[in-house]
Amino acid sequence: MKCPFCGSLKDQVIDSRPIEHTSAVKRRRECSECKKRYTTFERPEEISLMVVKSDNRREPFDRKKIWSGIDRACRKRPIAAETIDKMVNEIENELMGEYVMEIPSSLIGEKILEKLWGIDLVAYIRFASVYRKFADIDTFMQELKKLKKEHAKRLTKD
Ligand SMILES: [Zn+2]
């Protein structure tokens, strides 16, 4: 880092903390020459995490896509924007933790389903019907059966 006061390239990191929900890090530095302190924000040069689609095309990981997929499924459901944010953050963190370079897109879909299952069954089935494109009516009915059972279970729990 170049000291903004004297231009020296020698400094010491005094404090380093990650910025929540991002891969950026905030660092407090002290110039070794003039002893003045300054703060830097650093983010890794876009680690290009790639998503591998079912037809093997690759595209850069885009958290906005996850967000809009979930948002669409949750439309008009009693789900707060913060809840959606939280889901997206969890998914992103899990993916970043588990995958280094490439993520199969199918896995992202499954993770979204997993989260929605825990939040709202209507949103779940909406997302599932788009994502899984239920090949036939039997698959769809199977999924509905599973939902009905789960729904009943949740009702008795309340
Ligand atoms: Zn300095």
**Chain segment 69-82, per-residue pLDDT in tens:** 999 999 999 999 99
Residues with CB under 5 A from ligand 1 (ion): 3, 5-6, 8, 31, 33-34
Distance 125 CA to ligand 1 centre (A): 58
Which pTM was predicted?
0.63
Per-domain boundaries in the chain: 11-42, 50-157
CB 52 within 8 A of CB 102: yes
Cα–Cα dist 73/60, whole Å: 23
| pLDDT for the residue numbered 19 | 72
Query: In DSSP terms, which residues pair with 50 in a beta bridge?
Result: 60, 102
Using the mean position of ligand 1's atoms as its centre, give its distance from the Cα of residue 44 in Å. 24
pLDDT in tens, 119-145: 999 999 999 988 877 777 888 888 889
Please tell me the predicted confidence (pLDDT) of residue 48: 63
Q: How many angstroms is it from 37 CA to the middle of ligand 1?
A: 8
With a cut of 50, list the residues of the chain below it in pLDDT.
Answer: none
